[in-house]
Amino acid sequence: MANTGTTTDARHRIVPSPAGRTHLVEQGTGPLVLLVHGFPETWYSWRHQLPALAAAGYRAVAVDVRGYGRSSKPAEVAAYRMRRLVADAVAVVEALGEGSAVVVGHDWGAEIASHCALLRPDVFTAVGMLGVPYSPRGGVRPTEMFGRLGDGSQEFYVSYFQEPGRAEAEIEPDVRAWLRGFYAALSGGTMPGPDAPPPYFVSHGGRLADRFPTGPLPGWLDERDLDVYAAEFERTGLTGALNRYRNADRDWEDLADQEGAPVTRPALFIAGGLDPSTTWLSGAIEAFPTTLPRLSGSHILEGCGHWVQQERADEVSRLLIDWLGSLGG
């Protein structure tokens, strides 16, 4: 169900950050809840949660991560490493005149959120992760691990995204069509069936889009929503967004002092039962008693794909509000 949110009284702002500037959209008053999107999205992926959280008595703030939307887009690939994204989040909290916040993220935003709570627990008092579970830094270099997921005939999508310019050459000639296919490929109801080649692998010499489904839009996405996303990426290009993938090994090096470290702040996890991330990262979910010792809820929504806060907007908003209420002062 698309466009159920009402953000007419939301306010757009630009605030200073280590990136240069961070664009955000805020709605409501009360304790601060910082919402961090993933790939390939923008603040707009939280359009349903902004009014819901505001109505529940929270100051909901959705950012454009550096490289996206109206936020700054540094040219250097290394500018998109995790520690710098955490610094951006801290700067947003400070620019809003707050001393602390709950941080909630989806996809790459979930990784950013969990590392905000890991690296700056003095600022981020609790963390919600949607779609991607927290996984501590381990002993295997990420590019080596991603390489193991491919074989002689196909390549894992993260490996495909590593080389600057390669994925851009596929996506940017027709951004809208590519986004449409990518969203559908990971949505409950439109993703390819179990007998089809998985859309998150690329045949050698092929394109990721070769495995995208054709047909109607997912139920959570209408033509207007797609226009919003396409317009942003047609304007900005995809390089800033893709550069997050290109820092996997840098992050691994930067976080050597955090190997195996748990996130000790209160935590929540929500994911779609059809989201491939829950399969790839099933070991991370099983390790939650160790890695997230203050996890108060882990919710797998049956029949839901990757875009959980958009596919199940009302349910996710309710889970978030109930969890936030349980945190107390």
Residue 11: beta bridge partners?
26
Structure tokens given for 289? 């008693």
Under 8 Å CB-to-CB from 311, ≥6 apart: which residues?
187, 188, 218, 219, 220, 272, 304, 305
Under 8 Å CB-to-CB from 212, ≥6 apart: which residues?
181, 182, 184, 185, 199
Check the CA dihedral 158-114-65-105 and report its sign: positive
**Cβ atoms of 91 and 115 closer than 8 Å:** no
Burial track 159-195 (b if 16+ CB lie within 10 A, e otherwise): bbbbeeeebbebbeeebeebbbbbbbbbbbebbeeee
Catalytic residues: 107, 306
Altogether, the residues listed in the chain come to a count of 329
Residue in the block written with tokens 């490996």: 159
Q: What span, in angstroms and rounded, lies between the C-alpha atoms of 290 and 217?
A: 39
**Cβ atoms of 113 and 125 closer than 8 Å:** no
201-203 and 267-272 strand pairing: unpaired
Best CA proximity match to 191, nearest among 277, 133, 106, 108: 277
